[in-house]
Amino acid sequence: MKKENKGLIWLTGYSSAGKTTIANEIKKSLDRDGHKVIFLDGDDLRVILGTIGEYKKNERIDLAKIYFRLADHLVSQNYIVIISAIAMFDSIAEWVKDNIFNSFQVLINVPAEIRFSRDQESKNIFKNGIMNDEIYDLPKKPDLIVENYNIEINEVANKIISFFFENTDQTKPSIRSKYWNEVYASNRSPGFPSDFAKHTIEKITSNETLLEIGCGNGRDSVYFASKAVKVIGIDISEESINYCSTSFRNENLEFYNGSLSQFFDRNKTITLDVIYSRFVFHAMTLKEELQTIDKAHILLKKGGKFFIECRSIKDQLSLKGEHISETERIFGHYRRFVIAEELIQRLQDHDFEILDFVEDNGLAVHVTEDPVVIRITAVKK
């Protein structure tokens, strides 16, 4: 099944930078490739809304708010929205970034003298040589800056299109780690362990070495360490590891940033008694899952245990969001719902024996959510 992207490409820049021309070229290319695309032009929107004429800065800001609320609604309907509008106001940029999914502000940069020359040949809005640049806030952190002079329009358009797709493919590790950094910037440890951690502690002994894949806010790693288990917590989120490293001090506890494969590359001689993974397997691509199982088998000692809890394909959440494959969804962020029989087979193919397995709800209740999860205890033969 084809993966559908959605989001906002906001082309901004001073008057006569070529925003509309570039936007038309982008739309033509995306239309040709079969994407759902809508192009909103600032000049056209002013006509539609009946706001042609001169207006003050605060009125321009109010008008921009209308533009981007409309854009937000269209993105929510699974469109790629291209909008060419100056709207260079700090408050607008902040609102767009905070509220519109996959929004990217692209600054079209053209020297003033070239823009002035272009204006004389087209709109002729720079009356008496006044360009009015000073009424706008030059973007502090645009997502992309492109030069639109001495270059072909299709090259500019292709650069923007490539940037958009590279940064909206949520199967990419870089995009997913960015998402989790944002999550863990505010999601701190609740101070108590998960039910799965309490289930697991009954099956391991003190002084064993446990590695947690995807330690997040550290709640379970800290719990295991408090039970005299030697714990290594790893996570692809730098924000997560920075928080855990500075918040939790315990001689039985250490943290590393990265995936299990990256940890293995730096620690090939280490031997583990236990590997623990809660709500991480369904956040991995299948390729990453296979790499994780492979490295887990190498790192575990003979008889070492692998504890896994993840969302099942039978979970109702799998019915929501954008379907990009039989098991992959985009609903807020990337998930790959797990088919239990297939995961068990992959573990067995890597010489793991399944000690116990359950697939049910009632195991990972969180507030009002009660997902169907898979729990597996596997042992290295």
Regarding the domain delimited by 7-172, which CATH topology (the fold level of the hierarchy) does it fall under?
Rossmann fold (3.40.50)
Q: What is the mean pLDDT of the chain?
A: 91
- What is the distance between the alpha carbons of residues 320 and 161, in angstroms, rounded to a whole number? 27
To 5 degrees, how large is the angle CA 205–CA 210–CA 213? 145
Sort strands 103-109 and 373-380 into parallel, antiparallel or unpaired: unpaired
Are 234 and 263 spatial neighbours (Cβ–Cβ below 8 Å)? Answer: yes
- Crossing angle between the packed helical segments 173-184 and 238-247, to the nearest 10 degrees: 40
Interior/surface letters 282-297, b for 16+ CB within 10 angstroms, e for the rest: bbbbeebbebbbbbbb
The pLDDT confidence band at residue 374, using thresholds 50, 70 and 90, is very high
Are 232 and 275 spatial neighbours (Cβ–Cβ below 8 Å)? Answer: no
Tens-place pLDDT, residues 28-80: 999 999 999 999 998 899 888 887 655 678 888 888 999 999 999 998 888 99
Q: Which residue has the tokens 């969001």?
A: 321
The pLDDT confidence band at residue 132, using thresholds 50, 70 and 90, is low
pTM here is 0.66
Sort strands 209-213 and 333-336 into parallel, antiparallel or unpaired: unpaired
Are 248 and 215 spatial neighbours (Cβ–Cβ below 8 Å)? Answer: no
Average of per-residue pLDDT across 1-9: 70
Percent of the chain topping pLDDT 90 = 67
Tens-place pLDDT, residues 148-174: 999 999 999 999 999 998 887 766 777
Which region, left, alpha or beta, applies to residue 137 given φ > 0 means left and ψ of -120 to 50 means alpha?
beta
Residues 177-380: name the CATH superfamily: Vaccinia Virus protein VP39 (3.40.50.150)
Identical fold for domains 7-172 and 177-380, yes or no, is yes
The pLDDT confidence band at residue 1, using thresholds 50, 70 and 90, is very low
CA-based nearest residue to 279, from 183, 225, 214: 214
Tens-place pLDDT, residues 313-372: 999 999 998 788 899 988 878 899 999 999 999 999 999 999 999 999 999 999 999 999
41: Cβ–Cβ under 8 A, 6 or more apart, which residues?
20, 23, 83, 84, 85
Burial of 129 (0-12, 13-18, 19+ CB in 10 A): exposed
Residue type, 93: A
- What is the distance between the alpha carbons of residues 102 and 86, in angstroms, rounded to a whole number? 19
- How do the domains of the chain map onto residue ranges? 7-172, 177-380
Are 381 and 305 spatial neighbours (Cβ–Cβ below 8 Å)? Answer: no
131: Cβ–Cβ under 8 A, 6 or more apart, which residues?
14, 15, 112, 115, 116
